[in-house]
Chains A and B, each alone.
Chain A
């Protein structure tokens, strides 16, 4: 039996990337800066946004938040801005561009200047999927340890900014070597802006907010 070989050479990600490009075009046209926020579960993405949005101005911020289950993050973020849509991915460990399109359809973007896309907590899968964002931000909490940049390099390689979070807890972490995180970032992505923040206390939020505002002008 003869099989015929057909050379295809077509990206499997093409469908996702085409939708992502359309999302980006749509948000750019609406004057919205879209920021894809990625990290492991529990690194502090939601609290960071809860503290960031009031400082930027609530009516100018919207959030799409991805989780496998529950609307808990959307309920929390609803205290910061009414423009929140929860995307439940079921079993999906990352958001995809079509899910973001559906999320955008659910939000009134008039007057919105910042759209935060809080990705599903995961340090591997989200890094591979363009959602149509303009900037990618990776969080790493100090309680996760000082070795995670080296262990999950791809997430940090694609990041425009890295936020070292929960730095108010450094005092209780024996043997945590902050310089190790910086060394690893300098080897993987020296272009990334790095911020140390503690959303709980407000420590370090100003430089992060300044960076966000600068990205709108950039």
Chain B
């Protein structure tokens, strides 16, 4: 249930951005989730919905886009897309791998509303 930790940080960010723009509503939030964070989308959505319930972002749609793993072989420098359970370099056969993508959770975009229904 690290989804709750992630949702808490996400909602903090979201509410800060909404306040900065004077928004009175949030229609949509898009997050990119690295697959190595092993986020269970339903758990993240459940936590998100619970956390925004009493806020300006109540009812916002949370869109979760998975980000695949990308890696670079430390031995030969080859970049490749490993499976989550197989990091063997297709060139040199070593599994000494630096993960370059797929570990982060990124707030990509938000869609905001103002009191009169116009965009801020």
A9 to B13, CA, bound (A): 11
A153 is an interface residue with CB less than 8 A from chain B: yes
A4 is an interface residue with CB less than 8 A from chain B: yes
Residue of chain B at shortest CB distance from A6: B110
Question: Of the candidates A3, A12, A93, which one forms a contact with B112 in the assembled complex, judged by CB atoms under 8 Å apart?
Answer: A3
A189 to B10, CA, bound (A): 31
Contact with A along B92-106 (1 / 0, CB 8 A): 001111010001111
Residue of chain A at shortest CB distance from B31: A12
Given contacts A12-B9, A191-B74, contact A4 B120 (CB under 8 A): yes
Interface residues of A in 82-138 (CB under 8 A from B): 91-94, 96, 124-125, 127-129
B78 is an interface residue with CB less than 8 A from chain A: no
Whether the Cβ atoms of A15 and B9 lie closer than 8 Å is yes
A14 to B48, CA, bound (A): 18
The contact size tier of chain A is: 35 or more
B21 is an interface residue with CB less than 8 A from chain A: yes
Given contacts A12-B31, A13-B104, A128-B36, contact A3 B9 (CB under 8 A): no
Chain B's nearest CB lies how many Å from the CB of A190? 4
Whether the Cβ atoms of B5 and A96 lie closer than 8 Å is yes
A-B contact pairs, 13 of them (CB 8 A): A3-B25, A4-B113, A4-B120, A5-B109, A6-B109, A6-B110, A8-B110, A12-B106, A16-B9, A91-B4, A186-B95, A188-B87, A190-B94
Measuring CB to CB, which residues of chain A are less than 8 angstroms from any residue of chain B?
A: 1-16, 91-94, 96, 124-125, 127-129, 150, 153-154, 157, 186-191
Instruction: Find chain A residues with CB under 8 A from B31 CB.
Output: 12
Contact with A along B1-20 (1 / 0, CB 8 A): 11011100110110001000
Whether the Cβ atoms of A4 and B117 lie closer than 8 Å is no
Measuring CB to CB, which residues of chain B are less than 8 angstroms from any residue of chain A?
A: 1-2, 4-6, 9-10, 12-13, 17, 21, 25, 27-28, 31, 36-38, 74, 84-88, 94-97, 99, 103-113, 117-120
Instruction: Find chain A residues with CB under 8 A from B105 CB.
Output: 11-13
Whether the Cβ atoms of B104 and A124 lie closer than 8 Å is no
Whether the Cβ atoms of B95 and A187 lie closer than 8 Å is yes
Question: Which 9 residue pairs across A and B have the least CB separation, nearest first?
Answer: A4-B119, A125-B2, A3-B111, A190-B95, A1-B117, A153-B85, A12-B105, A191-B96, A3-B27
Given contacts A3-B27, A11-B106, A13-B104, contact A92 B95 (CB under 8 A): no
Whether the Cβ atoms of B28 and A12 lie closer than 8 Å is no
A189 to B88, CA, bound (A): 8
